[in-house]
Amino acid sequence: MSESLDLVRSIYADWERGDFSRTDWADPEMEFLVPDGPAPGRWRGVTQTRRVFLEAASAWEGYRIRADGYRELDDGRVLVLAHFTARGKGSGVEVGHEPGQVWMQGAGLFEIQLGKVTTLVSYNEAAHALADLGLEA
Determine the Cα–Cα distance for residues 8 and 25; give it in Å rounded to an integer. 9
In this predicted structure, the answer to whether residue 121 has a pLDDT above a threshold of 90 is yes
**Digit-coded pLDDT (tens) for 80-100:** 999 988 888 999 888 886 766
| pLDDT for 38 | 86
Out of 2.60.120.10, 3.40.50.2300, 3.40.1410.10, 3.10.450.50, the CATH code matching 3-133 is 3.10.450.50
| pLDDT for 65 | 93
Domain boundaries, the chain: 3-133
Contact 110, 22 (CB under 8 A): no
pLDDT-derived band of residue 130, with 50, 70 and 90 as boundaries? very high
Q: Which of 30, 24, 25 is nearest to 46 (CA)?
A: 30
Determine the Cα–Cα distance for residues 135 and 100; give it in Å rounded to an integer. 30
| pLDDT for 1 | 60
pTM for the whole structure:
0.92
